[in-house]
Chain A
Amino acid sequence: MDASLLTVQPAAPEPIYRQIVEQLRRLIAGGQLVAGELLPSVREVAGFHAINPMTVSRAYGLAESEGLLERLRGKGMVVASTRRSSQSASHRLSLLEPQMQALVRHAGELELPSELVLRRLASLLNK
């Protein structure tokens, strides 16, 4: 993987470390990054995007704790080979928390009754 695969928007309200984790999550889910693939070093990412290396370390650390990445001794970070389902359901659910909070907020703004939203959500989930 190349550092240019990541994009960084410093002015966005979302902290840069979260932007990086979110992109890793999507790249891995979308298959652009496959298990065992080596990630660019902290220095490469920080240098390419002119961002603080601590920010990159923090992103990698978080991605590791989420099971997205694994630290290979002497090599660096690679995409984790363990399947997602090996993590507890509550942990995986917690990854959805921001999207769910946003959904709840939007539903509130549209003054939609929760029943209606839940019914639609259920039908989407059961597809």
Chain B
Amino acid sequence: MNAVLGESGLGAPPLAARGLTHCYEGSNVLCGIDLELAPGSVLGLIGRNGAGKSTLIRAMLGLLEPLSGAACVFGEPALKLSDAAKARLAYVPQQPEALAWLSAQQMLDYVGRFYARWDKAFAKNALQRWEIPANKVMAKLSPGERQRVDLIRALASQPELLVLDEPAAALDPVARRELLREIALRAGEAGATVLFSTHIVSDLERVASEVAFLHRGKLLMRCSVDETKERYGRLRLPARFASFAPAQSLSRRRHDDGGLSLVVERDTQGQWPEAASLEGARVDALGLEDLFVEIAE
């Protein structure tokens, strides 16, 4: 039975969602999200606090039943995942709470038994490098230490699908860089698929192959990181040409002097909108962070 399921999962995207909708106390958190990850891709999810990132992640993994829509993990319905599928997946929530009565060492020894590909040496080294008191009961660790232990647990299981909710928040810059290195190499070499949410855009720019902007429950944009940087720019128009502004733009801001700033896109020939060639107009390249700020305002 498992073998049959496993085969049907072949070729299916590691993670896929269609039409996910959810609300808390009457206000919409997710408004019909479609999102699919190809094997080996690293998708960075950015959004402001409260944009719905954690809810989206939880709904995609079947940890929360959406109001409507559906999610699949390795081709199986997320809400009814088989044990086989669960073993190929690792998820690190923002605030891990499981098994808090064990010490980090005991927890890793315990859960390690359930994974066929558990990397014991990695777990041991990471505990030292990330300065976790290995024998202290986890309930007494700081939230940051707890999340680091959970990251070690997730990475040591060598998952095919790794899902991290704001992993950078708990790490100092050195440990963060190490985590990014792990993510990058596992995706690039082991072919792992990674979904992580963050508000530290430069982390995302390092390792992500794709970026998705979540804003007020909607996906504003989903694009490869390189393409996003090459395709979008900020067009500034002097006041006298404000009326020539292209109708299509991702954001539009009027300055005190009557000039306009717009986020514009190159067309299929790689050209900026016509207004960019007007006298006094200019297009500036936009980093992801600037782009995000411009369109999320």
Contacts and interface: CB of A to CB of B under 8 A. Distances in A.
Q: How large is the interface on B (under 10, 10 to 19, 20 to 34, 35 or more residues)?
A: 20 to 34
Interface in B156-195: 177-178, 180-181, 184-185, 187-189
A50 to B, nearest CB: 4
Interface residues of A, number: 26
B287 A54 contact: no
Nearest to A11: B202
DSSP class of A's interface residues: helix, strand, loop or mixed? Answer: helix
Contacts of B42: 52
Contacts, number: 74
Nearest to B290: A13
Nearest to B179: A50
B282 A49 contact: no
Interface string A30-67: 00000000000011001101111111001000000000
A43 B285 contact: no
A52 B208 contact: yes
B279 interface: yes
A46 B188 contact: yes
B7 interface: no
B202 A53 contact: no
A109 B282 contact: yes
A53 B188 contact: yes
A111 B280 CA distance: 8
B36 interface: no
A12 B207 contact: no
B136 interface: no
Contacts of A12: 287
Contacts of A51: 184, 206-207
B181 A47 contact: yes
A15 interface: yes
B131 interface: no
Interface string B14-37: 000000000000000000000000
B229 A43 contact: no
A105 interface: yes
A80 interface: no
Interface in B192-211: 201-203, 205-209
Which 6 residue pairs spanning A and B have beta carbons closest together?
A53-B188, A13-B285, A10-B205, A15-B226, A50-B180, A50-B181
Given A10-B202, A46-B181, A53-B184, 13 more contacts: A8-B206, A10-B203, A11-B287, A11-B288, A13-B285, A16-B206, A43-B185, A50-B178, A50-B184, A52-B207, A53-B185, A105-B282, A109-B280
23 contacts: A10-B205, A10-B206, A11-B287, A11-B288, A11-B289, A13-B286, A15-B229, A16-B206, A43-B185, A50-B180, A50-B207, A51-B184, A51-B207, A52-B42, A52-B188, A52-B206, A52-B207, A53-B185, A53-B189, A55-B226, A105-B282, A109-B282, A111-B279
